[in-house]
Structure 1
Amino acid sequence: MRVVGIRGRDGRVDVGELSADGREVRVLAALDDFWADAAGHLGRANDDGPLVAVTRADLVPPVLPDARVICVGLNYLKHVAEGSFREQELPEYPTLFARWTRSLTVDGAEVPVPSGEDGLDWEGEIVAWVGAPLVDASPEQALAAVVGYSAFNDLTSRRAQKLTSQWILGKNGDRSGPLGPLVPAAEVGDLRDGLRVRTYVNGETVQDGSTAEMVYGVGDTLAHISRTLTLRPGDLLATGTPSGVGYARTPPWLLQPGDVVEVDVERVGSVRNTVVSNAARRTAAHG
């Protein structure tokens, strides 16, 4: 089962199931109704919802406007070792930063290189979707509240990221968070078993890691967050990237306009996007 969002001409977003051939979407519920009972909608068959052809649909992430997108930095040991943080001791708690929902986009979208950047860096990873409220949760309770996973590319503006100790600017470029369809957690299984996470640039493998290498697990991280803030249905946790990012290479390798980048996660699926120039960003802003 692959779940996506569909935006109508009136701006309303529905949530639907993508057909096996990717040509149609069967509407499951309105966005708010879906997240009011995500586990229920994912757990029962629905043959009654209207069918929408993908060619006529405006696909969007099935994300609530007020959802929190919390991201884990430095969650794979080899990634820590390859970057500018390799001289630091591994912290007891995960490094967390935030994305805004407006930075998210979908498979197939064009992603612009922001002004002043030499290119964009890829960070293939997996996102966990929270399906129930979490307050002071145990790791077991937190993991049980995860209703699904998606492939994700945390495309990063490295110059902006490194201007200060805070990463938010470099992590929130326009359309810089391509998100694949949601796949129910029951179909994915436990990430601790090790799912392969690969990233390709123009068909060449640039990242090849396993979720078994994660330092901070999904349940532990969500439980840690829930001690400070209440997690709500529809919130997302981006779990970090394996080694192989572009800025750490010699010489550095960053995505340029025309490059095609794809993240593929075992049992979860893929998200594939083309990088475009900053001119496309300016056109969209004034169009």
Structure 2
Amino acid sequence: MTKRLLRAELVEAPPVPRTARVFCVGINYHAHGDESREHSGLDIPKVPMIFGRWADTLVVDGDPVPVPPNEDGLDWEVELAVIIADPVWAADRATASQHVLGYTVFNDLSARKKQLETAQFTLGKNADRSGPIGPVVVTADEIGDPNSLTLRTRVGDSVMQLGNTRDLIHDIPSIIAYITDTVSLKPGDVIATGTPAGVGLGMKPQVYLTAGDVVEVEVENIGVLRTPIVSRADLAARHEL
């Protein structure tokens, strides 16, 4: 007899394999480029600015994320994420989209204090559990036009980000082609395509996430990804660290 499982008995996992690599693109919306230049002195890159995330930072819809120790700059970044379908090497821009399995929502939660202390983003972009992804994957044939999707971030009742993928500096085929000039992509790899304007770092005064906040990021035609922010002590007390 087959045992029927209850939903409460299931543990949800990120919609990519554990071996997935996460390629992130920095400063890839024109309006975000303008705010980045103003608050950090960073110019809009002429080619995609690629940095990496570790797959074990990925969490799912509803999973709590702790504020890192000694970090007072935990920031939100709504992003359209691409999931790769098959092995890709030296992709041609004209056909690169054929290698996309589907799309999902990504929140590139960023520890700004650590991120901006050096020229390397690695630590600031890889805090524990800081990569919410989901809630579903929409296949490439169902997404509509990926170059015309609205993105939105809410913290509590306040809309913090409102953008559209029309504002991308480097579009998805260009990013795939650029990465695969050097690195082959594998099935299940993720490309987080960048965030629009409206990050907390760019506000005057700056606004950041604290324990008790709930941040929701949304991409049109995919859905809403919800993340409660907690203290590290609270998460440890729940035995979730």
TM range (shorter): over 0.9
Q: Which residue of 1 aligns with 2:133?
A: 179
Q: Deviations over 1:220-242 (max 9, x none)?
A: 10111111011010000000000
1:56 Cα offset (Å): 2.2
Q: Give me the whole-angstrom Cα distance separating, in 1, the residues matched to 2:94 and 2:114.
A: 37
Q: Which residue of 1 aligns with 2:85?
A: 131
User: Is the CA contact (8 Å cut-off) linking 1:124 and 1:241 kept in structure 2?
Assistant: yes
User: Is the CA contact (8 Å cut-off) linking 2:27 and 2:45 kept in structure 1?
Assistant: no
Tell me the secondary structure at the aligned position of residue 149 of structure 1. Answer: strand
User: Is the CA contact (8 Å cut-off) linking 2:77 and 2:109 kept in structure 1?
Assistant: yes
Tell me the secondary structure at the aligned position of residue 86 of structure 2. Answer: coil
1:113 Cα offset (Å): 0.2
Matches within 5 A, 1:219-238: 219-238=173-192
Tell me whether 1:82 sits opposite 2:52 in the alignment.
no
Q: Which residue of 2 aligns with 1:33?
A: none
Moved over 6 A (4+): 284-287
Tell me whether 1:97 sits opposite 2:45 in the alignment.
no
1:55 Cα offset (Å): 2.4
Q: Deviations over 1:91-119 (max 9, x none)?
A: 22111110000000000000000001114
Q: Deviations over 1:110-136 (max 9, x none)?
A: 000000111410001110000011111
User: Is the CA contact (8 Å cut-off) linking 2:64 and 2:229 kept in structure 1?
Assistant: yes
Match of 2:19 among 66, 70, 83: 66
1:203 Cα offset (Å): 2.0
Tell me the secondary structure at the aligned position of residue 18 of structure 2. Answer: coil
Structure 1: tracts of 5 or more residues without a match: 1-49
Q: Deviations over 1:128-176 (max 9, x none)?
A: 0000111111123321110110111101100110111000100111111
Q: Give me the whole-angstrom Cα distance separating, in 1, the residues matched to 2:92 and 2:30.
A: 24
Q: TM-score when scaled to structure 1? A: 0.78
Q: Give me the whole-angstrom Cα distance separating, in 2, the residues matched to 1:147 and 1:51.
A: 31
Q: Give me the whole-angstrom Cα distance separating, in 1, the residues matched to 2:97 and 2:83.
A: 10
Aligned residues: 237
Q: Deviations over 1:197-233 (max 9, x none)?
A: 0000002110000001000111110111111011010
User: Is the CA contact (8 Å cut-off) linking 2:56 and 2:129 kept in structure 1?
Assistant: yes
Q: Give me the whole-angstrom Cα distance separating, in 2, the residues matched to 1:168 and 1:51.
A: 43
1:66 Cα offset (Å): 1.9
Structure 2: tracts of 5 or more residues without a match: none
Q: Give me the whole-angstrom Cα distance separating, in 2, the residues matched to 1:71 and 1:153.
A: 11
Match of 2:61 among 101, 104, 107: 107
The alignment yields a C-alpha RMSD, in angstroms, of: 1.9
Q: Which residue of 2 aligns with 1:240?
A: 194
Q: Give me the whole-angstrom Cα distance separating, in 2, the residues matched to 1:164 and 1:51.
A: 52
Percent identity of paired positions between Structure 1 and Structure 2: 42
Q: Give me the whole-angstrom Cα distance separating, in 2, the residues matched to 1:93 and 1:128.
A: 18
1:54 Cα offset (Å): 3.1
- CA shift in 2, pair 1:164/1:282, >3 Å: farther
1:285 Cα offset (Å): 7.3
